[in-house]
Structure 1
Amino acid sequence: MSDFSFDRLRRYPDVEADNLFAADASDRLILDEAADLLADAGVGEVVVLEDHYGALTLGAAALGGARGIRVHQDVLSGELALALNAADVGLTHTYRSLGLGNELLANARVVLLQLPRSLAALDEVAEAIRRFAAPDVVVIAGGRIKHMTPAMNEVLGRHFGLLRVSPARQKSRVLRAAAPIPSPTQSVVSAWPKSVDHADLGLTVSAHGAVFAGAGIDIGTRFLLEFLDRMKPDAGSAIDLGCGTGVLAVALARRRPELSVTASDQSAAAVASARATMAANSLVNRVTVVRDDALQSQPDASAELIMLNPPFHIGSSVHAGIALKLFEDAGRVLQRGGELWTVWNTHLGYRPALTRLVGPTHQVGRNAKFTVTVSTGR
């Protein structure tokens, strides 16, 4: 498709702003480095991992001629953006989205990867490629230099016998990995998720590589846990929005067995982690875990209680947009008189936004770093 243009791609339904883009120089560099590999690949032999909004997938199809592309994106907003961009440029038929595992990677010979932010996420992805892809697979992994570290080379070196680092171009760089290292044990059992027992809270947390805070419990969540007994005592149902590993959902379900609890996150790794956490704490039948873009699958005015520890970044960019999106959707879903309990870094000053998007908001707790507020639906 000679008229394909990266400039045509959009981030929607993710947050859009003048300083946020659907494609960058690392997408172009990955595709350029992979051009010969894409030209030689057969149908179904190309896999794309962590494509932000479709630039790699659609570029591989339009510029590289790849067909039968298999794609995995951790965040649902990226997956939805890819679908919308593919429809816009007439390439919907060129790919399919799958979970991280054998169906995604079996017999793959070319893997294009936008390097994830965390080393744990990279380790889990590299392990999966090593376990399931073809022995002659080549991985072209790229990113912006400011977000890359030498430790990424070490992680890939644990899984691949050959690693080459490309020269920099437009502040981007590519790592080319090949010769996956055989491991009979890992061909049967994955090292993920990892679990940690938190004796002080009486619960076990399980985590896949890409989930925030891993199997630990971040200090904002710990602070919000102190307020569980004050959260809308007459509520019959509750939502842990942006649940991560599901710590808040577990703690609330245990504390209040009469509640129907839903844990929701747009991250596939978070959803898998939360489900593993529920299993580890014998709560599979008490807590429903769903993958959702904010609360898009929830009806208006349907929630009595929502808990939220919002992220303050979008990918590698510090940006308030994702928190505002979650506040707005929480305000839509919250019943009149329902409660949204939010913990946030005090310097972010979210109270006016919560009042505007959800309802009357007051502070119920504050420590050296965090503020906890409760907003009442209107």
Structure 2
Amino acid sequence: MLKALTTVSEMLARNLDVLTQQPLLVCGLLEDNLPTMLADAGPAPRIFTTDYSYYQWQKNQGIKDIEFGTQPHSQAASAILLLMPKAKAEAEYLLAACLPLLAEGALVFMAGDNKGGVKSAPKLLAPYCDQVVKLDSARRASLYQAQLTRPAAPFNMTQWQKGYSIAQEQLQICTLPGVFSAGHLDSGSQLLLENLASLSGRVLDFGCGAGVIGASLLKRQPELTLECIDINALALEATRLTLANNQLANQAKVYASDGLSQVTGTFNHIVANPPFHAGLKTFYHTTEALLNTAKDYLTPGGSLTLVANAFLPYPELIEKSFGHCETLAINGKFKVYHATRR
């Protein structure tokens, strides 16, 4: 987790006189100690995050007013600062979830990396605000300000649910904004599913996303004891919805975990299509930590199977940890790796 301020927060530091005139509800792409910086300059902000890793880190930093989940609690807010997330659809979702907490006339701020979609702030805020002003632009980041002129409708999660079918798996997938593989089955997961052998016992779906892998495993083998983990609250909710859509809701445990930190005991199998992006950056730490420690979470004879972009240097890490690494399949862009605890 980054501890230095991001360039977006460095730009925001130039505008603390405006931002700290009222307590802020801060949400979106939080990556650093921005909450502490805001609290040092004015009223302590209220933080809402869908990222369990960030939530845990900030709690350990002593931040008390922080929420993790799919939407903030219904407590009214004085003003909002949205840090532009990677996906525009997620920004729309967060605005819809947070703006109902504001009174008419309240201030709405949006900030982000200029290459990360923040320039769409005027369009994103148009349904709620008559005028959007760019307050600052520095270090390749921008800050916009607007005033809520039209009360936002009460938030309704079901309006944000989308889905698709996977005919070969006879599955109905439910997705939410910003969740991986949101519009269709990604080719990496497809390759993984095509090359998964029959499993048994306790199985971990690491980085469950929309629940595609977990639901497929249970559809094939209902007798499995399945656990699905992710750091993203929207991914966890999408997985729950996917399982429910396929009458599998009572057959899996779905919970937040920062890597394997919240996992207990050992598994017969770990299956993963792990992430390698965090925000706008390429990010390998979570997967590397998995590969380095997965063996400790497997029973003797237990296996790790994962799919990854072919260019990533994961075989070396798997071999270092397990003593061997087998490549099960290749489709040009992705490779499926397999290793067993001996």
1:254 CA drift (Å): 0.6
- TM-score for the superposition, normalised by structure 2: 0.91
Corresponding residue to 1:172 among 141, 157, 161: 141
User: TM-score, length-normalised on structure 1?
Assistant: 0.83
Please say if 1:126 is aligned against 2:95: yes
Q: Against the structure 1 CA distance between its residues 34 and 307, is the aligned structure 2 distance closer, same or farther, given a 3 Å change threshold?
A: same
Alignment of 1:310-349 (within 5 A): 310-349=274-313
CA distance in 1, matches of 2:115, 2:3: 17
Superposed displacement of residue 288, structure 1: 1.2
Q: How far apart are the structure 2 equivalents of 1:237 and 1:121?
A: 33
Q: Distance in 2 between matches of 1:348 and 1:50?
A: 28
Q: How many angstroms apart in 1 are the aligned matches of 2:112 and 2:118?
A: 10
Match of 1:299 in 2: 264
- Structure 1 regions of 5+ residues with no counterpart? 1-10, 12-19, 87-91
Q: Which runs of 4+ in 1 moved over 6 A?
A: none
Of stretches 171-180 and 289-298 in structure 1, the one that deviates more from structure 2 is: 171-180
1:49-64 pair list within 5 angstroms: 49-50=27-28, 52-64=30-42
What is the distance in 2 between the residues matched to 1:268 and 1:22? 25
The residue that corresponds to 1:85 in the other structure is 61
Provide the identity percentage: 24
Deviations 1:127-150, CA, capped at 9 Å, x for gaps: 112333322332222112222354
| C-alpha displacement of 1:295 | 1.5
Q: Does 1:222 align with 2:186?
A: no
In the TM superposition, residue 108 of structure 1 has moved relative to its aligned partner by: 1.0
Alpha-carbon RMSD across the aligned residues, in angstroms, is 2.3
Cα deviation, 1:294-337, whole Å, max 9, x if unaligned, reads 1112235x110111111122322113322201222322212221
1:215/1:245 contact within 8 Å kept: no
Work out the CA distance in 1 between the residues paired with 2:230 and 2:149: 32
Return the alpha-carbon distance in structure 2 between the equivalents of residues 321 and 372 of structure 1: 19
Runs of at least 5 residues in structure 2 that lack an aligned partner in the other structure: none
Cα displacement string for residues 237-271 of structure 1 (whole angstroms, at most 9, x for unaligned residues): 21110010110000000100111111110111111
Q: Distance in 2 between matches of 1:187 and 1:298?
A: 32
| Distance 1:152-1:330 versus aligned 2 partners, 3 A rule | farther
What CA distance in whole angstroms lies between the structure 2 residues aligned with 1:224 and 1:70?
40
Shift of 1:225: 1.0
Deviations 1:334-363 (A, max 9, x none): 222101111111111311111213442101
Could you tell me which amino acid in structure 1 is paired with residue 141 of structure 2? S
The residue identity in structure 2 corresponding to 1:169 is A
Q: Distance in 1 between matches of 2:224 and 2:257?
A: 21
1:195 paired with 2:195, answer no
